[in-house]
């Protein structure tokens, strides 16, 4: 999935494919498991598992199945990462 949005809200549950989002302003929320994460928000917040994280945020698990990329100027990015069982 590749999408480019000027402004809006995007809510993704249980991401199971590669996702690439370009967003000027708004909110992106996603539930990610075993996913390579690469997110940048120049003027917004990145919140991972209820903790505010500095931009850019990258995470590459050993067993990553998918890639999740967000690039934004002002968006708030909320991520819930589920630990491998």
Q: pLDDT, tens digit, for every residue of 15-69? A: 888 999 998 999 999 999 889 999 999 999 999 998 999 999 999 988 888 899 9
CA dist 8 to 11, 36, 41, 63, 84, Å?
10, 24, 14, 32, 31
Q: Is 44 helix (H, G, I), strand (E, B) or coil?
A: coil
Q: Give dist(CA 51, CA 77) in Å, integer.
A: 11
Residues 6+ apart with CB under 8 A from 54: 46
Report the pLDDT value the prediction gives residue 6, as an integer from 0 to 100. Answer: 76
Question: 15: closest CA among 54, 67, 71?
Answer: 67
Name which residue leads in pLDDT, 63 or 71.
71
């Amino acid at each position: 999935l590749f999408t480019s949005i000027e402004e809006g809200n995007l809510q993704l549950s249980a991401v199971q494919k590669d996702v690439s989002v370009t967003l000027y302003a708004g909110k992106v929320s996603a539930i990610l498991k075993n996913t390579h994460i690469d997110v940048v928000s120049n003027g917004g917040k990145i919140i991972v598992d209820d903790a505010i994280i500095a931009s850019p945020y990258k995470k590459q698990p050993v067993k990553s199945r998918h890639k999740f990329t967000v690039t934004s100027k002002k968006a708030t990015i909320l991520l819930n990462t589920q630990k491998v069982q």
